[in-house]
Each structure stands twice: as structure tokens, then as C-alpha cells.
């Protein structure tokens, strides 16, 4: 088992490459999640604006009580 983890003397290079790849994958997932939330928030704002504009054009009160 030790020989597997030693990787023939290249353990530092091999395991640091795996670590960097894993870190980059995690960073990519975090960024995708943030971007998704931002896009969904923008779509919600646009939808609310469209609904309010449609109501205003129809003469429906947009003031909430």
C-alpha cells in the first residue's frame, strides 16, 4: 500500500495534481451555483417587472394593501 501512495517517487507531483484538480472542480461547482442563483434572481425581477407593466397597462392597481 505504501508503494501505491509513494507513486514511484513522484508522490508529491501526483497527489498535488489530484488535489489541484479536485480544488478546481469544487471551485467550478461553487461558481455555477452562484451564477445559477444570480440568473434565477434576474429572471424573477424581469417577470415581476413584466407583470407590473401588464397590470399598469390594463389599469389594474399595482399598490399593495
Q: Which domain holds residue 24?
A: 2-58
Residue 63 in any domain: the answer is no
Task: Write out the three cell numbers for 51.
Answer: 407583470
54 within domain boundaries: yes
- Rounded Cα distance, 9 and 31, in Å: 35
pLDDT band of 11, cuts 50, 70, 90: confident
Task: Tell me the average pLDDT of the chain.
Answer: 89
Do residues 52 and 46 make contact, with C-beta atoms less than 8 angstroms apart? no
| Average pLDDT estimate for 10-21 | 93
Whether 45 is covered by a domain: the verdict is yes
| pLDDT score for 3 | 81
Which ranges in the chain belong to alpha helices (H)?
A: 2-6, 11-58
| Number of domains comprising the chain | 1
Amino acid at each position: 500500500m505504501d508503494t501505491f501512495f509513494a507513486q514511484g517517487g513522484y508522490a508529491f507531483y501526483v497527489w498535488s495534481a489530484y488535489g489541484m484538480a479536485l480544488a478546481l472542480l469544487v471551485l467550478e461547482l461553487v461558481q455555477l451555483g452562484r451564477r445559477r442563483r444570480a440568473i434565477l434572481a434576474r429572471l424573477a425581477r424581469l417577470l415581476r417587472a413584466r407583470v407590473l407593466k401588464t397590470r399598469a397597462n390594463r389599469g389594474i392597481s399595482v399598490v399593495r394593501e
